Chain A
């Protein structure tokens, strides 16, 4: 048997705009979404959900539903009891964190509107849903804790409303960092006191509104209990963590559970969860012995999939009169919703190290109180803690610039870490390995036409133009590449942060690469193929990337926190390098040369000074035959590596946004958006551009459009795509993006994460632009999302600043008292 392996060309794959391997099936509809899976005898589930934010379940009458056509079972929390397992929290942020039990299907009490109280199983999805309407649940409604600030103050003694009355408090955990105590800086209180007497103190309160990840593929789960293993297909980002959680909470041995994440239609953190729906499907399939499927509706997704953000941020920045920062104090209230989700209170803690950002603060303190309310649980959403931190500091730096009368870029430059100061240990205790804020900013200003736009802004201001121009700045950094296991351990996180890869050299010269990072749109198949093609010198087309199935990829920690390339990719590099080292003595043997005389280049071992050589694929074939191997050498050059990162990874960039604000109507128009991100070396510029564009729009959407709104009884008002405002193509513009390059020093490829960068950076750039457009009118804040209504109210002195709430219900479209109007006419206005 011979395999023909062409010697690859010298053209390097890394850096090429390879078109994506995964696209062919996606553009032709040859997809395997979980909801596409149909198994023989498969049953369908529909959920009965609570309409109340907080209530006791007094009785559930399942009789009528059970009698409905083709219904197989109607099950409640009492029926499933402990077979349902539990939803876990992997990160108790303090040792005394208050963590209520989270049964997937509670038997006695519901804690948010949308929580599941019963499940109907039928032969078709339609029949299950019809019968779910027949389940009669009686509730005793309880007072619901809804307002975050009020919830934080409530106790059993002061008559406040408690999300979990038995806990006696809504407070879950208080997480603190103080630079003086940590030995990483001075006393923040001293810095603030000094600034009060002889410097500048900026005090602000910012709202991080609640957002919904709103991935396009609704969550779906199929469980097949037939066969030796129980197989779960789920639209999840975390098949490995999910398998662990299933085993740990149900008692089913981990080795008897196989979790597959097939094609997954986006996640953005929203599918970084162990969901009640998955647990219920697992329990029901086991109980009935038949495959079951559950696919949520969009309304269910928005109501019960975890939400993101939702913080109040109280911020105090101290500076000298010349604009040099001297201290930063951060007090956060973070809304957990009614349970501590998988990462839960850890999300704001991920921001704890990022409020100081790229600036040389001598003193820093961070205090975060996590709080329960009777709302949907919160957890990771793109950026997870870091967008909140970046928003706060980038807004504050603009406030400081305004206070001292400097250009916002100048005040940043005065305070940022200069490129020659890397590596730099920050006041939060992190070591930034590389960066060049000067270079990224210079390039961004050039692309943006910064000086020209400032001149136009001045012209419009001087002429009293009703349409004012605002220029927003965000010079962000973030920590990503989650994460060094030791650091996670020191933070009390329940798992590590390593990633696993293996490389299988097939007899035909093809290469299978297995990664524990499970893609859901990022393009791992393409980027990882490029890396392996370069490393092993094989053709890009000959590399197959396998992932997302715990039986194939037996070991992994999945995809989130911009970790796939910088952690998972490094594991792939190391596994590939081991292949070469295992192949080396075999090549020497086959070439009848000394190992020392061999060199490996372009996929080929050659004997120095001769034209003799063998391609790695030829060696793979020889190893498969195993007819002629050195004594004592196993017939395999397959290799694996588990990589634990030594540090986080610190992409940075300068984002500039120009917004036009119509001061007469409050209407906003994005004029230009430029970003120059330094994400180290780039594997595939095309994929990177996509990550940046998509990230930008999610961050811009927080600034301008998106908010999960509840009414005063705790019902999610923005519970459909009619009400939750995802931007469309018509709402957005084309972006100007570019890159500067400071290679990361902590991984072989010099790469940095890019998945979250756009989202982290763009929100403050946009809001800074909006505020900049109207600052001369005496406005220094507009609460997100900056709707035209809020902008108009701010301009007209009617609020719209720090505390204006979004209306909890739609305003009437016409005045019912006025004769001669009808709703159709009014609605169009």
Chain B
């Protein structure tokens, strides 16, 4: 067991973990951060994407011990003061989700993408989300959501 201390969604946490424990397992099993999910075992699907010190990572591909001293943000820490993050709001507005299982990872990756490139083209969005699989939406409305969040979307009427 190794002692790790880190910040997750703004809260300081500290635990003894097995060296082999994955960050995603730590988040889910120790912290109850079940908003972050596991969709595969080969780091293809991206459902477990979180931010580690501000950069998106697939948390199945990071050991919990590697996050010692780091700041982790999950889908559960994205909204602040009861207000949705603009990307969360855009996914809802543009129907960028159906079953919602890929959504936490897809949103976290989209946030990271827009941090790097605030006005991406459609092609840049598609390439930027290549590491996140969705089986429901056909990606069409996910792309619209990212465009919308970047202020490039068409006006959507309710």
Given contacts A216-B101, A729-B125, A29 and B35 within 8 Å (CB-CB): yes
Contact B158 A18 (CB under 8 A): yes
B97: Cβ under 8 A from any A Cβ: yes
Contact A216 B133 (CB under 8 A): yes
Contact B129 A728 (CB under 8 A): yes
A235 to chain B, nearest CB (A): 10
B93: Cβ under 8 A from any A Cβ: yes
Which of these binds chain B: A19-27, A417-425, A791-799?
A19-27
Number of interface residues of B (CB under 8 A): 59
Q: Which residues of A contact B119 (CB under 8 A)?
A: none
Residue of B nearest to A299 (CB): B41
Contact A693 B140 (CB under 8 A): yes
Contact B99 A298 (CB under 8 A): no
Q: Which residues of B contact A265 (CB under 8 A)?
A: 37, 99-101
A14 to chain B, nearest CB (A): 15
Contact A33 B37 (CB under 8 A): yes
> Per-residue 0/1 for B87-121: is the Cβ within 8 Å of any A Cβ (1 yes, 0 no)?
01001110101111111100100000000000000
Contact B126 A730 (CB under 8 A): yes
Which of these binds chain B: A148-156, A496-504, A719-727, A769-777?
A719-727
Could you say which of A27, A690, A721, A732 contacts B98, with CB atoms under 8 Å apart?
A690
Residue of A nearest to B77 (CB): A29
Given contacts A690-B98, A728-B129, A19 and B141 within 8 Å (CB-CB): no
A677 to chain B, nearest CB (A): 14
A466 to chain B, nearest CB (A): 23
Residue of A nearest to B90 (CB): A27
Contact B137 A217 (CB under 8 A): no
Number of interface residues of A (CB under 8 A): 58
Q: Which residues of B contact A696 (CB under 8 A)?
A: 138
- Determine the distance from Cα of A689 to Cα of B139 in the docked complex, in whole angstroms: 12
Q: Which residues of B contact A627 (CB under 8 A)?
A: none
- Within B71-99, the residues touching A (CB, 8 Å) are 74-76, 78-79, 84, 88, 91-93, 95, 97-99
Contact B42 A721 (CB under 8 A): yes
Residue of A nearest to B97 (CB): A26
Q: Which residues of A contact B142 (CB under 8 A)?
A: 729
Given contacts A27-B84, A33-B34, A693-B141, A216 and B91 within 8 Å (CB-CB): no
- Determine the distance from Cα of A816 to Cα of B34 in the docked complex, in whole angstroms: 47
Given contacts A29-B35, A697-B138, A217 and B92 within 8 Å (CB-CB): no
Contact B45 A521 (CB under 8 A): no
B12: Cβ under 8 A from any A Cβ: no
Contact B135 A690 (CB under 8 A): no
B83 to chain A, nearest CB (A): 11
Contact B129 A27 (CB under 8 A): no
Contact A729 B74 (CB under 8 A): no
Contact B139 A732 (CB under 8 A): yes
Contact A23 B76 (CB under 8 A): no
A275 to chain B, nearest CB (A): 18
Given contacts A17-B158, A28-B35, A520-B99, A721 and B126 within 8 Å (CB-CB): no
- Within B30-46, the residues touching A (CB, 8 Å) are 32-42, 44-45
Residue of A nearest to B157 (CB): A17
Interface centre among A297, A521, A522, A727 (most CB of B within 10 A): A521
Q: Which residues of A contact B40 (CB under 8 A)?
A: 298, 720-721
Could you say which of A17, A29, A217, A694 contacts B34, with CB atoms under 8 Å apart?
A29
Main secondary structure of the interface of A (DSSP, over half): loop
Given contacts A17-B157, A690-B98, A690-B141, A27 and B107 within 8 Å (CB-CB): yes
Could you say which of B25, B36, B74, B103 contacts A26, with CB atoms under 8 Å apart?
B103
Contact A217 B91 (CB under 8 A): no
Contact B45 A721 (CB under 8 A): yes
A306 to chain B, nearest CB (A): 16
- Within B52-86, the residues touching A (CB, 8 Å) are 74-76, 78-79, 84
A387 to chain B, nearest CB (A): 16
Q: Which residues of A contact B78 (CB under 8 A)?
A: 28
Could you say which of A31, A694, A730 contacts B136, with CB atoms under 8 Å apart?
A694
Could you say which of A16, A22, A266 contacts B135, with CB atoms under 8 Å apart?
A266
Residue of A nearest to B94 (CB): A686
B122 to chain A, nearest CB (A): 7
> Per-residue 0/1 for A1-25: is the Cβ within 8 Å of any B Cβ (1 yes, 0 no)?
0000000000000001111101110
Residue of A nearest to B127 (CB): A730
Given contacts A693-B141, A720-B41, A523 and B74 within 8 Å (CB-CB): no
Could you say which of B132, B135, B157 contacts A729, with CB atoms under 8 Å apart?
B132
- Determine the distance from Cα of A694 to Cα of B97 in the docked complex, in whole angstroms: 10
A215: Cβ under 8 A from any B Cβ: yes
A444: Cβ under 8 A from any B Cβ: no
Contact B35 A521 (CB under 8 A): no
Contact A266 B158 (CB under 8 A): no
B42 to chain A, nearest CB (A): 5
B134: Cβ under 8 A from any A Cβ: yes
Residue of A nearest to B93 (CB): A19
B143: Cβ under 8 A from any A Cβ: yes
Residue of A nearest to B99 (CB): A521
Contact B92 A29 (CB under 8 A): no
Q: Which residues of B contact A686 (CB under 8 A)?
A: 95
A431 to chain B, nearest CB (A): 32
B156 to chain A, nearest CB (A): 8
B49 to chain A, nearest CB (A): 12
B47: Cβ under 8 A from any A Cβ: yes
> Per-residue 0/1 for A684-721: is the Cβ within 8 Å of any B Cβ (1 yes, 0 no)?
00110110011111100000000000000000000011
Q: Which residues of B contact A36 (CB under 8 A)?
A: 28, 34
- Within A672-691, the residues touching B (CB, 8 Å) are 686-687, 689-690
Q: Which residues of B contact A217 (CB under 8 A)?
A: 37, 39, 99, 101
- Determine the distance from Cα of A199 to Cα of B91 in the docked complex, in whole angstroms: 55
- Determine the distance from Cα of A38 to Cα of B28 in the docked complex, in whole angstroms: 11
Given contacts A28-B84, A263-B100, A298-B39, A216 and B139 within 8 Å (CB-CB): no
Q: Which residues of A contact B131 (CB under 8 A)?
A: 728
A652 to chain B, nearest CB (A): 20
Contact A298 B41 (CB under 8 A): yes
- Determine the distance from Cα of A20 to Cα of B136 in the docked complex, in whole angstroms: 15
Given contacts A22-B100, A265-B99, A721-B44, A215 and B135 within 8 Å (CB-CB): yes
> Per-residue 0/1 for B145-157: is the Cβ within 8 Å of any A Cβ (1 yes, 0 no)?
0000000000011
A139: Cβ under 8 A from any B Cβ: no
Contact A522 B140 (CB under 8 A): no
Q: Which residues of A contact B135 (CB under 8 A)?
A: 214-216, 266, 268, 694, 698, 726
A734: Cβ under 8 A from any B Cβ: yes
A-B contact pairs, 20 of them (CB 8 A): A27-B84, A29-B36, A33-B37, A36-B34, A214-B135, A216-B99, A216-B102, A216-B133, A218-B38, A263-B99, A264-B99, A266-B101, A694-B98, A697-B139, A720-B44, A726-B133, A728-B132, A730-B129, A732-B140, A734-B143
B-side residues, CB < 8 A to A, are: 18, 25, 28, 32-42, 44-45, 47, 74-76, 78-79, 84, 88, 91-93, 95, 97-104, 107, 122, 125-127, 129-143, 156-158
Known pairs A20-B92, A27-B107, A734-B122; list 5 more (Cβ under 8 Å): A266-B101, A522-B98, A694-B138, A729-B143, A735-B140
